[in-house]
Structures are given as structure tokens and as C-alpha cells.
């Protein structure tokens, strides 16, 4: 049944079947999160970093209606250059399939497809969350609901302050999603290492994360886990610079009435322009850092699951 929809790359399939470490990667970051050609360069480097750290990369997307776990370099290039790629969240999946469209997967959809294929560890930049002003707009990313329900660990650099980090943490708490600080007591704020908000647990090693994940899923405590891995110091942005850029981007989004799925890509693009590309450099570096940690977690999880 599943084979009708899902195509797992042979290398990824082999690794999954053998219980070897695999790391899932999302594709919205390629098509809607970063401009060409940096997006493609980033996607290829991330895959290389995962390999160098002993795991198999599986970039996830939907091509012509087929759910793909593990893309070829040509497919990554296609996603990074084509203008007709739909940003695909959970609600979009059925129609992207029936209309044979090409879709880039958000954190939510990447989790769904990774889980269908049997991949349990996923590296990205940042998760979606509760947007500032959500009390009025109801803008809460479907990523959070997916974390509540789908058994995949997400290694990220925290949540950006385009979001309301405090409310995002509250939402995750309500839904029983553990939020972990990798070598930190604070939820990282994506471009900066600190947010002022504490995490539930601080861990110092990938094995600690793997052991907790195994316990969670052994006990059928459904849902994912957020592993907040702070951006390396040398790539961190100046707090005032990024805060001002985010404030102006948010104001502009409001003036232009940007809503729905367009909000996050709009804000990311504006922040990039306002910071003269500096935010993009930070964004790329933190993804690399997350890929490395995710590969280590996947390796440890594979070791203790055999």
C-alpha cells in the first residue's frame, strides 16, 4: 500500500533495513527558506557533513506527486531552482499527491514522511512555532502539532524570534514534547545562542539524547522531541542587529497583510535583506552544526537499538 505513494532511495532503504543511522532533512529550507544558489550549496554540504559523521542523509520532498525519502543531487537542484514548488505542510499532502505536484516538505511533513519510511532523526535549521500575535491571528505552525504526534526527533537551533518563543514552549509543554538543550540551559534563538527561556533538560552528549529517545518510544510515549543546538559562537549574530531586523520585518509583514503559509518565508527573506545577507550566513552555519549533531544522535540510537 505504502509503496504506491512512497519511494525510498535505495541507499537509504538499505541503511534503514540494516538499522544503520539515517538522518532526514527537509526541503522547504531549500525551496522557500534560502535563495538560489546558496540553497543548493547548503543542501549538498549538509548531506556531505552527515556522511562524514557516519550516517546516511535522506532529504525529503514530493516530486510529481511521489513522496521521496532520499533525493538525488539532480532532484535537489530541481527543487532549488524551480519556481513551481509548493510549500507542503500536513494538510497539503493529499492534494499534492492527487494533482501530481512537486512539494517541498516543512518540518511537519518531513516528520510524517521520515516516520513512514522508518527514519527517526531529522536535522533542520529552525522549527515553526507560535507566531507573535497568535492570540489574534491564530498563526501556530503545524510543526508543533506534528511534534506532538509523530515519533521523530528534530535537531534544530531553536526557534527564531520572529516567533513567540515563550508561547511556543508552552504549546510544546501542553503537548508533552520534551525540549532539550544540547550543552545549554536555554532554548537557543536560532541566530543567537540564548533566548532567555529555559529548556526542560540540558544534555551534554548525543548518547544522552539517544537513550531518552529510545525510552520514550519503547514506552509508546508518542510524539517527537526538540533538541535545541545553539549556533556556534563564531557564527552568532549581534543581538541588537538581529532584533531590529526582525522587528522591521514583522512590521512590514503586518503592513502588507502577509498571512498563512507566506508569513515565515516572507520574514526570512526580509531579515536576510535587512542584515545584508549576514543572517543567511548564520542560517547556513547553524544547519551544518545541526547536521553533525543529528548524525551523532542517529549513530548512538542505532547502536543502542541493535
Establish if 168 lies at the interface with ligand PSU (CB under 6 A): no
Q: Are strands 179-182 and 153-156 parallel, antiparallel or unpaired?
A: unpaired
97 near 111, Cβ under 8 Å? no
Helix pair 142-149, 165-174: axis angle to 10 deg? 30
| CB closer to ligand PSU out of 147 and 210 | 147
User: Per CB under 6 A, does 164 bind ligand PSU?
Assistant: no
Choose the one of Mn ion, ligand PSU, none that binds residue 29, judging by a C-beta under 5 to 8 angstroms depending on kind. Answer: ligand PSU
Closest CA to 293 of 184, 205, 193, 187: 205
| Partner interacting with residue 28 (select from ligand PSU, Mn ion, none; CB below 5-8 Å by kind) | ligand PSU
Is 159 labeled as ligand-binding? no
The residues pairing with 182 across neighbouring beta strands, listed in sequence order, are 203
* C-alpha closest to that of 252 among 279, 237, 271, 277: 271
285 scored as a contact of Mn ion (CB under 5 A): no
Residue 161 engages ligand PSU in binding (rule: CB under 6 A)? no
Contact of residue 282 among ligand PSU, Mn ion, none (CB under 5-8 Å per partner type): none
139 binds Mn ion (CB under 5 A): yes
Asked whether position 107 contacts ligand PSU by CB under 6 A, the answer is yes
Exactly one of 141, 195, 282, 290 binds ligand PSU (CB under 6 A); that residue is 141
Choosing from 47, 106, 150, 282, the residue that interacts with ligand PSU (CB under 6 A) is 106
- 302 marked ligand binding residue: no
Find all residues with CB under 8 Å of 160, minimum gap 6, and list them.
Answer: 126, 189, 190, 191, 246
* Strand residues in 171-271 grouped as ranges (E): 179-182, 201-203, 225-228
The yes or no reply on residue 26 touching ligand PSU (CB under 6 A) is yes
Verify binding: residue 279, ligand PSU, rule CB under 6 A. no
Distant-in-sequence, close-in-space partners of 254: CB < 8 Å, separation ≥ 6: none
CA–CA–CA angle 173, 176, 179 (5° rounding): 60
Is residue 300 within the footprint of ligand PSU (CB under 6 A)?
no
CA–CA separation, 160 and 149 (whole Å) = 22
Site residues (vs Mn ion, CB under 5 A): 139
Site residues (vs ligand PSU, CB under 6 A): 26, 28-29, 32-33, 106-107, 125-126, 128, 141-143, 160, 261, 264, 268
Annotated binding site for substrate: 87, 107, 141-143
Amino acid at each position: 500500500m505504502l509503496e504506491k505513494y512512497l519511494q525510498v532511495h535505495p541507499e537509504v532503504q538499505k541503511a534503514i533495513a540494516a538499522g544503520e543511522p539515517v538522518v532526514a532533512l527537509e526541503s522547504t529550507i531549500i525551496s522557500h527558506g534560502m535563495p538560489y544558489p546558496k540553497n543548493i550549496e547548503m543542501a549538498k554540504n549538509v548531506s556531505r557533513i552527515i556522511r562524514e559523521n557516519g550516517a546516511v542523509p535522506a532529504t525529503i520532498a514530493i516530486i510529481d506527486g511521489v513522496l521521496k525519502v532520499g533525493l538525488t543531487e539532480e532532484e535537489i537542484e530541481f527543487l532549488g531552482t524551480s519556481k513551481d514548488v509548493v510549500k507542503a505542510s500536513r494538510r497539503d499532502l493529499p492534494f499534492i499527491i492527487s494533482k501530481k505536484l512537486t512539494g517541498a516538505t516543512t518540518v511537519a511533513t518531513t516528520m510524517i514522511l521520515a516516520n513512514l519510511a522508518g527514519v527517526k532523526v531529522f536535522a533542520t535549521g529552525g522549527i515553526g512555532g507560535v507566531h507573535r500575535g497568535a492570540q489574534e491571528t491564530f498563526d501556530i505552525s503545524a510543526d508543533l502539532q506534528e511534534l506532538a504526534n509523530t515519533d521523530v526527533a528534530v535537531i534544530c537551533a531553536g526557534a527564531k524570534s520572529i516567533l513567540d518563543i515563550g508561547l511556543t514552549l508552552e504549546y510544546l509543554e501542553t503537548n508533552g514534547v520534551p525540549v532539550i538543550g544540547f550543552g545549554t540551559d536555554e532554548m537557543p534563538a536560532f541566530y543567537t545562542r540564548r533566548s532567555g527561556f529555559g529548556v526542560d533538560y540540558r544534555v551534554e552528549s548525543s548518547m544522552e539524547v539517544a537513550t531518552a529517545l529510545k525510552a520514550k518510544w519503547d514506552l509508546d510515549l508518542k510524539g517527537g522531541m526538540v533538541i535545541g543546538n545553539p549556533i556556534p559562537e563564531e557564527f552568532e549574530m549581534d543581538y541588537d542587529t538581529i532584533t531590529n531586523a526582525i522587528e522591521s520585518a514583522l512590521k512590514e509583514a503586518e503592513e502588507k497583510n502577509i498571512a498563512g503559509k507566506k508569513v515565515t518565508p516572507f520574514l526570512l527573506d526580509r531579515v536576510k535583506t535587512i542584515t545584508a545577507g549576514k543572517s543567511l550566513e548564520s542560517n547556513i552555519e547553524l544547519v551544518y552544526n545541526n547536521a553533525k549533531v543529528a548524525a551523532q544522535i542517529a549513530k548512538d540510537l542505532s547502536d543502542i537499538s541493535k
